[in-house]
A and B are shown apart, each in its own frame.
Chain A
């Protein structure tokens, strides 16, 4: 394989940046929502659950359109964030990250929620009888025991972010160096004559990135499992 062209390098680094930021920002949000859904009873629980899962069933183009309406330069949230913190989404890599986050969140919430529901609630009650606050119980009992699920959720969200296409192209278009991730670049190349070779190379690269991410998560999950249950 010939060395990567500058344009390819840019697309790969951008993809990694978008996916990593989307996953890292999604983690605390996904964890909070999953904990809420797994452990609390409240009015509107079904609504929250539905909203989180909506991007999973909606056509991605529709999700992207809603993002455009809400987080675009003239959208209510978008204009507010631009004014107060200078955070602009439209036609920026941050917008690509936001689209990836929204698309990956349902997968992450599902994985973490399942993991939390697997934990015996009596363990958390035992911690309460030992004087632990809700916050301490969460960080010392719930979170460590849900860690394997957290990792699975993060990997799923990361993989989804790498491959995200429809919502991203609708929301922030495909601007080389700013929003053109590997997936968008591949699509762009398939639209021009003679791009076959480049498409193949980018496709191979995305396969490689996915495999490395999977292998890393496997290794991490195994280490955690060993720490918790290994018998000498």
Chain B
């Protein structure tokens, strides 16, 4: 159990954050400059807050009222930095072992197991400069986990990697969280990562918590008004069904309708999908002669519109999840959309990135 309630003022920036986090992966989600890294630094003991309390598993890290502050090295907090921060003069093996105590056979066994889990066995003798970005981050994960932390902090661990490499690291993060049962605070501004990994999401903006909840609840109405319609997205949960070998498609079962996605996902796997509002087409009935494979049934819950050309239609899908769809005001008027009206949401399968789906 992690309890954080701290405040801190810097020139041109203030942090005033209160949240609780439990086991599993809790995402700290928000735009750059929202204070996410400063928050992690406070929890790790690298920055001293001005007021408040930080308590992890009944251990008081910081208490502004008494002035108590546990120094970083006694907090047992594993920190994975954005750029890894591996020790450049030490081999991969020495980096991994840096935080390990002088344990006996037990720790040797856990070392070997982790090296296997992260696929680092063939890299142990190399130096960080000889590794790819993804390999370096895997070493950073391992180094943090081997210090036997009671809490793992990850500061945008994928941000420094190119787009293609990011999704390759996701299974490692999930495996670590599952195998070692360490609570993780995962900082990110990428909705795809958060939707895939997080059990719980804390949304930060300008140094404050603006929302907390499950990815489905929070990401959809994320931060109230995202700056652009391209950032508005919805998270749906669905179960993988049959895989169509001939066309390479997997059908996901959702109460509002079947969703077709590229690639193979083993049947029965629960999957979270991220659908951008700009990828949704609204229709009053399912038309013929379209390439669209996915149509989800629901009813209009609300319409967010102002004087601008573009409005946001929020649809309650059958089965209680919501989906945001961007449309021009003119189209909404032409369709005669009104709250409570039944509607079909059409989604191009190709707009769903299968690499971010669990089990993909």
A residues adjacent to B (C-beta < 8 A): 120, 122-123, 125-133, 140-141, 144-145, 227-232
Contact = CB atoms under 8 A, between A and B. Distances in A.
21 contacts: A126-B79, A127-B87, A128-B45, A128-B72, A129-B45, A129-B46, A129-B75, A129-B147, A130-B73, A130-B78, A130-B98, A130-B144, A130-B147, A133-B73, A141-B87, A145-B88, A228-B88, A229-B88, A229-B127, A229-B129, A230-B129
| Chief secondary structure at chain A's binding surface | helix
A144 B95 CA distance: 14
Contact of A123 (B78, B87, B143): B87
Given A229-B127, A231-B129, A232-B130, A127 B89 contact: no
Contacts of A120: 85
A63 to B, nearest CB: 37
Nearest to A137: B73
B76 interface: yes
A133 B241 CA distance: 53
Interface in B128-147: 129-130, 143-144, 147
| Chief secondary structure at chain B's binding surface | loop
Contact of A129 (B44, B89, B129, B130): B44
Interface in B77-106: 77-79, 81, 85, 87-89, 98-99, 101
Contacts of B76: 131
Interface of B: 44-46, 71-79, 81, 85, 87-89, 98-99, 101, 127, 129-130, 143-144, 147
A132 B101 CA distance: 10
B85 A123 contact: yes
Contacts of A232: 130
A128 to B, nearest CB: 4
Given A131-B73, A228-B129, A231-B129, 10 more contacts: A120-B85, A127-B98, A129-B44, A129-B46, A130-B98, A131-B99, A132-B98, A133-B73, A145-B89, A229-B127
A160 B101 CA distance: 44
Contact of B81 (A126, A131, A133, A227): A126
A228 B130 contact: no
Contact of B89 (A122, A126, A128, A228): A228
A123 B143 CA distance: 13
Nearest to A121: B46
B78 A129 contact: yes
A231 B130 contact: yes
Contacts of B75: 129
B77 to A, nearest CB: 6
A197 to B, nearest CB: 50
A125 B99 CA distance: 13
Contacts of B99: 129-132
